[in-house]
Amino acid sequence: MRDVGVRVLLGEVASEKLPLIAAQALADGLDSPSLRELAGLSHEEHREARELLDQVIDELGLPGLPDEDQAIWETVWSYARRIVSGAIPPVDGAHAIACYAGGLMYPESLVRFAFLADLWEDGAARRAPLEQDIVREAAVMLRTTGGQLGAVGSDCDGQ
């Protein structure tokens, strides 16, 4: 549920969807009093849903929600881990990471992903080496920026 909270902070998940997400979490075996209450809300009660999410996270013993910058970094690190592990195609991860760069004032470590993704789009003959470069860049970023384990990540276009 914490990853859902991060996605709400980033505007990727609307608060109106929280009751449905909570109901699915209950069906998946998570349980807490606030999670049950959240699942019972209507989508019109989005303000209450957002407030209950913090209680759910606390009741489940999860770390509290980060500020927006930290939420972006957590999401970027999640994409980087998935690139390195092979869970997503490198260029897809590079595009996802690049779209978060503006929220952090375009740090060089993220701008490189935009550059590599653009090169990949422009040169079909050089895609394999560029994919290797993206994987290396993701590994370097994880080592140098403190990316920890976690499972946050979604499209940064809010869908």
Show the CA angle centred on residue 104, arms to residues 128 and 60, nearest 5°.
95
> What's the whole-number average pLDDT of the chain?
89
How do the domains of the chain map onto residue ranges? 2-59, 68-145
- Give the residue among 39, 72, 82, 56 at the shortest CA–CA distance from 1: 56
Please determine, for residue 61, whether its predicted confidence score (pLDDT) is greater than 70: yes
Predicted confidence (pLDDT) at residue 148 exceeds the cutoff of 70: no
pLDDT in tens, 120-136: 999 877 899 999 999 99
Let me know: does 81 contact 16? Beta carbons within 8 Å: no
How far, in Å, CA of 129 to CA of 142, rounded?
20
Q: What is the pLDDT of residues 94-105, one digit of tens each?
A: 999 999 988 888
Q: What mean pLDDT is predicted for residues 46-62?
A: 94
* Reported confidence tier of residue 156, pLDDT bands at 50, 70, 90: low
Confidence class of residue 92 from pLDDT cuts 50, 70 and 90? very high
Quick one: average pLDDT of 103-128?
90
- Please give the single-letter amino acid code of residue 149: L
Check residue 109 and give its pLDDT: 87
77 close to 95: Cβ distance less than 8 angstroms: no
Q: Where are the alpha helices (DSSP H) in the chain?
A: 2-9, 18-27, 33-39, 46-59, 68-85, 90-98, 108-122, 127-145
Is the distance from CB of 35 to CB of 45 less than 8 angstroms? no
| Confidence check: pLDDT of 153 > 50 | no
